Homo-oligomer: A and B are copies of this chain.
Amino acid sequence: MIRLKDIAEACGVSIATVSRALNGITDDNRGRSERIRQVATEMGYFPNSAARTLKTNRSNNIGILYEDRMNHEYFSTLIDALRDEAARNGFDVTFINPKAGNDTGNYYEHARRRNLDGVVVIQADFNSAEVIRLATSSLPTVVIDHEYEGCDCVLSDNHRSMEQIVEAAYHMGHRRIAYIHGEDGTVTRSREAGFYKGCAELGLRVPSTYMQSAKFHDPAACAQTVMKLLDEPEPPTCILCPDDYSCLGALSLLEAKGLKVPDDISLIGYDGIRLAQMTHPHLTTYCQDADAIGREVINLLMDAITNPEDHVTRHIPVSGHLIPGETLGRIKA
């Protein structure tokens, strides 16, 4: 590999001069810098990032952490968005590993060892010591969908989205709306609150049995819970599911039982995966704007990295939108 030294020798100048020419420190005097740059390109030079990192303490590399497997469309879209947005800023993206090889490395250590300039927490157990350590460390960190004191975060509108969903169902005439939520966590609690608020504002009574718990991304679990709801003395006319996968599970079950969606019962999903628009009927669902979230995350991170002094931590909400679909039907008067 070509080093600065090689270029220096080829040009008959010192290493320092080459470094400065390539980094644009010197105003191009007599075209000398220009010539150096040209020679560098001719020789096929590119900087050794390890050396640069060692000296400058900047790696132009950020870490992303997610503990689950990435088999939800929302996650992979988000990761793509992060990658692209980081690249636009000249940054690379490296995974922070839940199980870092032989080393009993925690996340923070892993990030430091790799000289990462910042970290994005996409999804994790927000109560675990390791994650808290990371979020509260001096390392620039942006967390998605969870608020830590003094830590930047980007929040998809879990609360507001549920309100919107409830309103949408209400406007279609539904008065008996049940909510099957996912596992407990920041996201779930926020959505739950939004659901209750939406109901309260519209004066809807919510029997305790209308609030059910299942698991995220588990169609069978959701279907089973739907069964329970149908056995209620007063079954709901509209059921909100934790996510689109679960919703599809519910849809299957209902069809298998001979119930027509949305004629007999309405369903609403969450996430807006592409497949939701390929089924019959298309899912009525709420779509989070993963690209926008990615953009905001990287913006925050870049600011925290480049202006550590006057960076003020912020909590930024990003809103999505309701996809009409066909699983939410009008209640016959």
| Interface positions of A (Cβ within 8 A of B) | 1, 46-51, 53-54, 59, 61, 69-71, 73, 75-77, 79-80, 83-84, 87-95, 97-103, 105, 109, 112-115, 219, 245, 248-249, 252, 255-256, 274-275, 278-280
Contacts and interface: CB of A to CB of B under 8 A. Distances in A.
A206 B73 CA distance: 37
Contact of A280 (B47, B50, B83, B255): B255
Given A49-B113, A275-B245, A90 B71 contact: no
25 contacts: A48-B54, A48-B113, A48-B115, A50-B50, A50-B59, A51-B54, A54-B54, A70-B80, A71-B77, A75-B76, A83-B97, A87-B98, A87-B99, A90-B100, A90-B101, A91-B101, A92-B95, A92-B100, A94-B94, A219-B278, A245-B274, A245-B278, A248-B275, A248-B279, A256-B280
Given A50-B115, A112-B1, A279-B248, A76 B70 contact: yes
Contact of A278 (B100, B115, B252): B252
Which interface residue of A71, A89, A95, A113 has the most chain B CB atoms within 10 A?
Answer: A95
A91 B95 CA distance: 10
Contact of A101 (B89, B101, B274, B280): B89
A50 B252 CA distance: 53
B109 A46 contact: yes
Contacts of A105: 46
Contacts of A278: 219, 245, 248-249, 252
Q: How many copies does the complex hold?
A: 2
Nearest to A290: B71
Nearest to A109: B46
A190 to B, nearest CB: 25
B92 A94 contact: yes
Given A46-B112, A71-B274, A80-B69, A61 B1 contact: no
Contacts of A71: 73, 76-77, 80, 274
Nearest to A72: B76
A-B residue pairs, 3 tightest by C-beta? A90-B101, A50-B53, A76-B76
Contact of A61 (B79, B84, B94): B94
Contact of A113 (B46, B77, B94, B275): B46
B113 A101 contact: no
Contacts of A77: 69-71
Given A92-B94, A95-B93, A249-B278, A115 B255 contact: no
Candidate in A91, A94, A98, A105 with the most chain B CB atoms within 10 angstroms: A94
